[in-house]
Amino acid sequence: MPISRRHFLCGSLALPAFAAKKVVEAPPNILLLVADDLPSWMVGAYGNKEVKTLNLNRLGQMGTHFLNHFTPVPAAAPGFATLMTGRTPMQVGDAGAISAADITIEKVLATAGYACHTVEPEGAPALIDQAKDGAPFFLTVRYSALELPYGNIPSKYLDLYGTEKFENYSVELAAANARSGKELLSNRVANLRKVAAAISMMDDNVGALTTRISQKQLLDRTLVVFTATCGALLGRHGLWAAGDASEPVNMYDESVAVPMLWCWPGRVPAQEVRMEPVSTYDLLPTLCDLVSAAVPSRNLCGRSYLPLATGRHLPKKQPWRDTVFGQYRNTAMARTQRYKLVLRDDGKGASELYDLPADPAERANQADNEQYISVKTTLTGELAQWKQKYAK
C-alpha cells in the first residue's frame, strides 16, 4: 500500500520521537538520496512556497540543512562523480566518468563493513527490507526524473499544479546565449508545472523510504542525507537547464547551489541551519570521519564537515574555510558567502564578479568596477592556486 505524505508527517517521524531517541554507538546505516538538476531554490526548506516538498521540508526541520552548499560543477554526471569520489572537476573530467581506479564512498564504506548499493528509487525499499542487525548499509538512491524531458509523471502530481501560475518567478526572455533547454522557455509555466510535479513525486518517494526505515525500527541508527548533483535555472536569467544551458557555461547560483539535508535522530541537531560554505567534494571525507575510516590517500581538496553537521565546535586553530571552488569546461568559480568570481579561459575570457548580499540575483557584474579590484585579485589568486594544486 502506498505511503501517504500524511503518514510520514504525522506518524513515527514526529519531532518529539526524534528527540527522545538515545545515542547509539553502532555504525549507522546511511541512506544517501541524490537528485539530478534540483536547485536549492526549488525546495521548501530553502524558502520555496509554490513547490510541495513536505517530506524534504520535514527532514530539514528534524535535522540540519546547509544553506550554502554548492556543487563544483554544474552538470549531473561530473557532479555525481565529485560527490562520490571527493575529486575535483579537473580530476574527474568534464564527462564525469567514474573509473575502476577511483576510490568512491562505496569502496571506502565496503572496506569498513558496509553493504553498499546504488539503485533507482523503485529498487530501494527491498534493500531496506534486507537490512540486518549489526550489518550497516550504505544505500545511494538516484533521482533522475528532473532531467529533461521529465519522464512519465503520474497525473496526480501534475494535478497538484494544474492552476499554479508561479507568480513569484521572474519572467524573462530567452538569453542571447541560451543553449540547452531553450525550447522550454516559450511555455515556461506549463514546463514549471512539470518540474514541480516531478519534484513532488520524488518527495513522496523520500517520504516512503523514510517511513520504511521507521517501520523497520532503524531510525536511531540511520543517517539520511539528501542532496543534488547540480541545479537548474528553470527560466531565471533567460535560461533553463544548468551550466550547459548557456554558451559559454554559466555558474549562476541556480546552477551550483544545491540542497544538503542531514537527518539522524539524536546525533544531528533538529531545526539547525548552517551558513558555512560547503561543497559536494566535502562529502567523502565527512563520511570517512563519521565511520572512522581513513580518507583515501589521493590529492583531495575536501574537508570533513561532520562537526558542523552534528553541532560540535571546530578547533579554534582550524576554522572553517571561507571559499568553495568550481570548474566546468573553460569556466571556473570562486564562491564565498558574500562574493562570487567567475573566470573563463583563465581570466582571458569574460569575467563576472557579484556582491551577493547587495545583488542576490547576480545582475550587476562588478568585474570591471575598480571598487572591487582587491576582491577580484584575492579570489583570482585563490582560484588559481586551487586549480593548480588539485589539477591531478
CATH for 55:
3.40.720.10
What is the reported pTM? Answer: 0.92
Residues 377 and 297 occupy one common structural domain: no
Residues 369 and 294 occupy one common structural domain: no
The answer to whether residues 245 and 47 touch, using CB atoms and an 8 Å cutoff, is no
pLDDT band with cut points at 50, 70 and 90 for residue 150: low
Residues 249 and 339 occupy one common structural domain: no
CATH for 366:
3.30.1120.10
Q: What is the Cα–Cα distance from 353 to 375, expressed in whole angstroms?
A: 9
Q: What is the Cα–Cα distance from 351 to 365, expressed in whole angstroms?
A: 8
**Prior bond of 2 cis (ω within 30°):** no
Residues 244 and 368 occupy one common structural domain: no
pLDDT of residue 148: 57
Residues 298 and 387 occupy one common structural domain: no
Residues 267 and 383 occupy one common structural domain: no
194-244: pLDDT as tens digits: 999 999 999 999 999 999 999 999 999 999 999 999 999 999 999 999 999
The answer to whether residues 230 and 71 touch, using CB atoms and an 8 Å cutoff, is yes
> Does residue 355 register a pLDDT over 70?
yes
> Does residue 25 register a pLDDT over 50?
yes
> Does residue 73 register a pLDDT over 50?
yes
pLDDT of residue 134: 73
Angle between helical axes of 283-290 and 76-85 (0-180°, round to 10): 30
DSSP one-letter string for 88-111: -HHHH-TT-PPPTTS--HHHHHHH
Q: What is the Cα–Cα distance from 94 to 92, expressed in whole angstroms?
A: 7
> Does residue 62 register a pLDDT over 60?
yes
Domain boundary (292, 321, 350) is at 321
pLDDT of residue 171: 76
Q: What is the Cα–Cα distance from 353 to 264, expressed in whole angstroms?
A: 38
pLDDT of residue 169: 83
Half-sphere exposure of 20 (CA within 13 A, CB side): 6
Residues 171 and 273 occupy one common structural domain: yes
Report the 10 Å Cβ neighbour count for 112.
18
Residue type (1 letter), 142:
R
Residues 240 and 373 occupy one common structural domain: no
pLDDT band with cut points at 50, 70 and 90 for residue 286: very high
Q: Which domain holds residue 189?
A: 5-321
Q: What is the Cα–Cα distance from 98 to 93, expressed in whole angstroms?
A: 10
Residues 198 and 286 occupy one common structural domain: yes
Residues 176 and 40 occupy one common structural domain: yes
Domain boundary (301, 321, 341) is at 321
Q: Which of 150, 237, 229 is nearest to 185 (CA)?
A: 237
pLDDT band with cut points at 50, 70 and 90 for residue 349: very high
Number of domains in the chain: 2
Residues 168 and 30 occupy one common structural domain: yes
Domain boundary (264, 297, 321) is at 321
Task: Indicate if the alpha-carbon torsion angle 240, 245, 249, 255 is positive or negative.
Answer: positive
Give 336-339's long-range contacts (Cβ < 8 A, gap of 24+).
Answer: 336/277, 336/379, 337/68, 337/275, 337/277, 339/375, 339/379
Which residues lie across from 69 on neighbouring strands?
278
Q: What is the Cα–Cα distance from 56 to 320, expressed in whole angstroms?
A: 27
Residues 340 and 377 occupy one common structural domain: yes
> Residue 130 has which C-alpha cell?
534486507
100-144: pLDDT as tens digits: 999 999 999 999 999 999 999 999 999 999 987 778 999 999 998
> Residue 144 has which C-alpha cell?
533522475
> Residue 340 has which C-alpha cell?
562570487
